[in-house]
Amino acid sequence: MEGIPIGRKLNILAHGSYHELVKRLENMFDTTILWGTEMDEVVVQPGERCHVFTYEDDGGDLVMIGDVPWDLFPPVKRLKITRVDTFTTF
C-alpha cells in the first residue's frame, strides 16, 4: 500500500472474488478501496481516505483490478493500493 513502509503478504487464492479480497484489504488498511467500475461512479470527498486497487502486469503497466473476471485473474508481479489523488480522472 502506497505510504505504508512495510509490505504485507496475502494469499489471494484464499478469497473467492474481488469483492472478498477488497473487503479484506479495506479492513487491513482502514481505508476505502475503489476498483473496477466503481471508479466511474464514486465521487471522492476532500480529506476522505480512499485508494485505488491496481496490479502491475508482467510488462510493468498498472492495470485496474476487476478488468478481467476473477476466475481469469492473471498471475501478477505486484498488487498496488494507490492514493486516489494520483489518478487524474478525479
What pLDDT shows up at residue 90?
41
CA 1/CA 8 separation, integer angstroms: 9
- pLDDT mean across residues, the chain: 78
Strand (E) or helix (H) holding 22: helix 18-29
Q: Residues 7-36: what's their mean pLDDT? A: 86
Looking at domain 12-86, which of 3.40.640.10, 3.30.70.1140, 3.10.20.90, 3.40.50.970 is its CATH number? 3.10.20.90
In this predicted model, what pLDDT tens digit does every residue of 41-71 receive, in sequence order?
Answer: 666 666 667 888 888 887 888 888 888 888 8
Helices (H), 1-90: 18-29, 38-41
Task: Report the pLDDT averaged over residues 81-90.
Answer: 66
Q: What does the pLDDT read at residue 47?
A: 66
